């Protein structure tokens, strides 16, 4: 698949993974548009894109579908990353996963159904669609899909909608099921939470669950590499790929990594307990994906889980330092340009 002459849309392109993808795409694609409502994404994440002649940012919400026809117009490829990205959020507010994941995806698919230009939809899903599988590492063809969180259920629902639309309305779809993605620009997850807790009080760190939750962690740079490589080799109408590392790390070890990178030596690690050791209702305790399918295309992760966590910790600490000094001014300038409807 040659992207150099493609018009590309990235939903949620100012977010954590989306901004890394946006930076890669603006360097290799014909035209790149990003739509983001900036509820969790940040304009500052797009520093490497906004001055490129082939890039355009649109502040908009997929829950307001009136604008989508113009946004999608002439786009041959759509990367759909817009979603609620915090698994825990749906526990107390179930509507957020329905609206931000299922409803937003439905609105986008309805627009694509009427589009005359769409060729390929790329969707970022999650390992949470598998629930608590009896087979670990878990392959894409694992048959008993029983999500235990509303986030996982909504992602699985999105996959089903995409599959049906691809078959009925004749466009290709690629679905990526991610392990825990970590790295710079992340604003949620265990590493980010630990850093914030230790910034507030470095004497004691509360660990949700029993600390033995053991999962795979993959650095965002490995994720982007996997996407770019597989795009060149996918041929079937609908493809599903797991993307993750081939090992695991537990939460206690992550806490120790974060404390070490923050230069802390005597922090008391206190596990809060929880339902069967979970960090919260819907938390999957053990996860590792089978990635043989995408490895057969020639990709493999550069970083193991431990190394991904350590690198991500360094990056997030630096992000927080930079944001304190640089981000407010940068965002103010760019937001003013958006309000004035200047193409950026």
For 126-182, write each residue's pLDDT tens digit: 999 999 999 999 999 998 899 999 999 999 999 999 999 999 999 999 999 999 999
Residue 16 lies in a domain: yes
Q: Where are the alpha helices (DSSP H) in the chain?
A: 16-28, 68-72, 89-92, 95-97, 104-114, 150-169, 190-200, 220-231, 251-261, 292-295, 305-325, 327-339
Per-residue confidence at 343, pLDDT binned at 50, 70, 90? very low
Residue 226 has pLDDT above 50, yes or no: yes
Closest CA to 2 of 231, 198, 210: 231
Residue 344 lies in a domain: no
Closest CA to 80 of 72, 69, 70: 72
Report the chain's terminal Cα–Cα distance, integer Å: 27
The domain containing residue 319 runs over which residues? 7-339
Residue 1 lies in a domain: no
For 8-32, write each residue's pLDDT tens digit: 999 999 999 999 999 999 999 999 9
Q: Where are the alpha helices (DSSP H) in 211-304?
A: 220-231, 251-261, 292-295
Q: What's the average model confidence in pLDDT over 47-66?
A: 93
Burial of 143 (0-12, 13-18, 19+ CB in 10 A): exposed
Q: Report the sign of the C-alpha dihedral through residues 179, 183, 185, 189, in that order.
A: positive
Residue 324 has pLDDT above 80, yes or no: no
Q: Is 55 helix (H, G, I), strand (E, B) or coil?
A: strand
Residue 259 lies in a domain: yes
Specify the CATH number for the domain of residue 240.
3.40.50.720
- The set of catalytic residues is 151
Q: What's the average model confidence in pLDDT over 80-98?
A: 89
Among 86-95, 142-151, 168-177, 299-308, the minimum mean pLDDT is found in 86-95
pLDDT of residue 341: 45
- Work out whether strand 120-126 and strand 77-80 pair parallel, antiparallel, or are unpaired: parallel
Residue 78 lies in a domain: yes
pLDDT of residue 18: 98
pLDDT of residue 238: 92
Residue 56 lies in a domain: yes
Overall domain count for the chain: 1
pLDDT of residue 344: 39
The CA-CA-CA angle for residues 284, 139, 245, to 5°, reads 70
The total of other beta-carbon atoms located within 10 Å of residue 144's CB is 10
Residue 2 lies in a domain: no
Per-residue confidence at 81, pLDDT binned at 50, 70, 90? very high
For 197-220, write each residue's pLDDT tens digit: 999 999 999 999 999 999 999 999
Residue 290 lies in a domain: yes
From the CA atom positions of the chain, what is the Rg in Å? 20
Cis check: omega of the bond before 137, within 30 degrees of 0: yes
| pTM of the model as a whole | 0.92
Mean of pLDDT over the chain: 91
Interior/surface letters 68-97, b for 16+ CB within 10 angstroms, e for the rest: beebbeebbbbbbbbbbbbbbbbbeeeebb
**Separation CA 107–CA 202 (nearest Å):** 45
Q: Report the sign of the C-alpha dihedral through residues 276, 277, 278, 280, in that order.
A: positive
Find the helix or strand (DSSP H, E) in which 243 lies: strand 238-243
């Amino acid at each position: 698949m040659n992207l150099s002459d493609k018009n590309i849309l990235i939903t949620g392109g100012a977010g954590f993974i989306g901004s890394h993808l946006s930076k890669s795409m603006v360097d290799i694609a014909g035209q790149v548009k990003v739509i983001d409502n900036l509820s969790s994404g940040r304009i500052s994440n797009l520093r490497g894109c906004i001055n490129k002649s082939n890039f355009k940012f649109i502040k908009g919400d997929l829950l307001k579908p009136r604008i989508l026809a113009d946004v999608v117009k002439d786009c041959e490829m759509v990367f759909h990353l817009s979603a609620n990205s915090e698994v825990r959020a749906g526990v107390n507010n179930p509507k957020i996963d329905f609206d931000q994941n299922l409803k937003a995806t439905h609105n986008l698919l309805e627009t694509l159904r009427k589009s005359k230009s769409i060729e390929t939809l790329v969707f970022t899903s999650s390992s949470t669609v598998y629930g608590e599988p009896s087979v670990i590492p878990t392959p894409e063809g694992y048959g008993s899909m029983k999500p235990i969180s509303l986030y996982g259920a909504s992602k699985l629902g999105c996959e089903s909608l995409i599959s049906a639309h691809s078959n009925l309305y004749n466009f290709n779809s690629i679905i990526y099921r991610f392990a825990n993605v970590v790295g710079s620009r992340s604003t949620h997850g265990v590493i980010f939470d630990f850093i914030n807790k230790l910034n507030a009080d470095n004497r004691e760190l509360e660990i949700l669950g029993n600390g033995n939750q053991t999962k795979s962690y993959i650095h965002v740079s490995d994720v982007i590499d996997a996407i770019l490589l597989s795009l060149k080799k996918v041929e079937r109408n609908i493809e599903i790929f797991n993307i993750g590392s081939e090992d695991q790390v537990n939460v206690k070890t992550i806490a120790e990594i974060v404390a070490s990178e923050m230069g802390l030596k005597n922090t008391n690690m206190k596990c809060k307990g929880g339902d069967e050791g979970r960090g919260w209702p819907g938390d999957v305790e053990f996860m590792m994906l089978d990635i043989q399918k995408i490895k057969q295309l020639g990709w493999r992760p550069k970083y193991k889980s431990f190394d991904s966590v350590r690198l991500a910790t360094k990056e997030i600490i630096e992000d927080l330092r930079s944001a304190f000094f640089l981000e407010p001014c940068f965002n103010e300038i760019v937001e003013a340009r958006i309000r004035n409807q200047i193409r950026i």
